Amino acid sequence: MTWIQYGMGDVEYSQLYVAVTWRPLAVERLSSVGAMRYVTFVGIRDFSAPLSSSLVLWCDNLSSFSLAPNPVFHSHSKHIEVDCHFVQEKVVAKKLILKYIPTNDQIAEVFTKALSTSKFQLLKNKLMIHSPLIRLKGDDKYSKASVATAVELNHLTINSVRVSLRTNSELAPAMAARVAFFVVATALLLIHTNAVEVSELTSGERQETPGFSYTGDIGPSKWGSLNPHYATCSTGKLQSPINIVTNNAVLNAKLKPLKREYHIVNATLVNSGYSIEMKFGNAGQLTANGKIYTFQQLHWHTPSEHTIDGVSADAEIHLVHKANDGSLTVIAMLYKIGDADPIIARFENQLHELAEENCKDNEVAQVAVENFDAWKLRRNTRKYYRYVGSLTTPPCSENVIWNVFPKIRSISKAQIEALKAPLQPTCKNNSRLVQPLNGRIVELYDELN
């Protein structure tokens, strides 16, 4: 059982303590004590299910976090010494595991506070609330069966609320009220999430779009004529990728380091047919020159799309970030064949599983990747090139801010083959040719200069 601790030290816990028939003597108390006793009593009294494994308690109070395992108590902590001994005994006995969580990352805030859209999405994703809808290959709309699935999910959610409320009535009144509130709040969040997506699916606004490839009659040179929405691929003046000529890059002292705060997230590895993509929803944030972007997905191209001084790399990864206003910024990193990339190694088995998926023509293969540590993608760089470009696949939308890292990283040949294996035969080499600069300036951020 895991208890998400909320509001350490600042929230009045009188109702909580009444429920467990315990009140601390001191005004300044360790909230971890209350939570520990509360969960212990709840397990024994309300559910008749004593804790059989270690309790994980997330704390946002660093003082509580530091004092809990400390066998030495100083004069400033004497008034809470009994409480500290209680927690310390549980920590030493490994019945309690304390972990730190920043206040602004607490999931409970999604139910108790008015949050910004980006913060709401972040916490909603931590609750693992997502759409079960399956996207069609080469299509931009969803199947009727998927819409029915979403509608059915809403009905199941409502029925679950009825069952939960009926079950809650058998518990102690105080406990029943708290459980009922949580179930109702979660149900409303699920219903809202799916209702929005179902309304989008049934609104008729999504139009079927033709597929594209990297060779033949639907290759890059023909993308602009495949659909009116793809016209920018042919007519745009700010297209990507480009060749970066290092001697022509302009040093910009106003550019700032890219501040990235990624975290562990449950991801989905998707084979779109033309690329391998890992979708997060929200894996953290990127701050670029004061603007905040959400890290939504990453994907690979082999060989690389960007070139530096005319030299192509063996692979390129794109980390796609989106701001609240819909604008995009992408980090591009280049790879040469050598040692295996430890990040890809983390989910290489899922890549092989993806290649073995047998899908119908109207389906997309996808494999879950649990607990993907996006933080490991946060590789510091002292230099990057920036320019304004576009998406490198249809519809080739422009005004995308590109940040290209010149540092070459290593990837094994086997890993490149694993990235190519699930793709369609005409998309194994899924890189678009470099596009004209058309007078654009490539800026340089160099920490050493």
- pLDDT reported for residue 137: 47
Q: What pTM did the predictor assign?
A: 0.57
Residues in the chain: 449
Q: Is 59 helix (H, G, I), strand (E, B) or coil?
A: strand
Please indicate, yes or no, whether residues 334 and 394 belong to a single structural domain of this protein.
yes
- What is the per-residue pLDDT for 76? 53
On whether residue 209 sits in a domain, the answer given is no
pLDDT at site 449: 79
Residue 93 has a pLDDT of 78
Does 251 reside within a domain?
yes
Residue 222, pLDDT score: 95
- Give a yes or no: residue 211 inside a domain: no
Contact 385, 244 (CB under 8 A): yes
374 and 234 inside one domain: yes
How buried is 165 (Cβ within 10 angstroms: 0-12 exposed, 13-18 middle, 19+ buried)?
middle
What pLDDT shows up at residue 178?
A: 58
* pLDDT in the model for residue 326: 93
pLDDT of residue 81: 53
Q: What is the pLDDT of residue 338?
A: 97
Q: Is residue 210 part of a domain?
A: no
Cα 250 to Cα 387: distance, rounded to the nearest angstrom:
11
Q: Are 280 and 195 members of one domain? A: no
Residues 195 and 226 in one domain: no
With 0-12 / 13-18 / 19 or more C-beta atoms within 10 angstroms meaning exposed / middle / buried, residue 421 is middle
pLDDT of residue 125: 66
Same domain membership, residue 222 and residue 264 = yes
* 78 & 198 share domain: no
Do 86 and 163 belong together in one domain? no
Q: What DSSP line would sit under 340-370, residue for residue?
A: PPHHHHTTHHHHHHHHH----TT--EEEEEE
Strand partners, 365: 271
Q: Are residues 171 and 223 in the same domain?
A: no
Phi, psi (5° rounding) for residue 344?
-65, -35
Query: Domain range for residue 156?
Result: 111-136+141-202
How many domains does the chain divide into?
Answer: 3
As averages over each run of 10 residues, the pLDDT of the chain (449 residues) reads: 38 35 37 56 54 69 65 53 66 74 70 72 65 46 45 48 47 54 59 44 37 93 94 97 97 93 93 93 91 96 97 98 96 97 94 81 79 86 94 97 96 97 94 97 93
Residues 171 and 225 in one domain: no
Q: Could you give the CA distance from residue 295 to residue 321 in angstroms, rounded to a whole number? A: 4
Q: Are residues 263 and 195 in the same domain?
A: no
Tokens representing 194? 């799916």
What integer pLDDT is reported at residue 145 of this predicted model?
A: 45
Give yes or no: residues 301 and 379 share one domain.
yes
Pick from 85, 105, 125: which residue ends a domain? 105
Count Cα atoms within 13 angstroms, Cβ side, for 302. 23
Q: What is the pLDDT of residue 103?
A: 63
Whether residue 88 sits in one domain with residue 22: yes
CA distance 275 to 422: 9
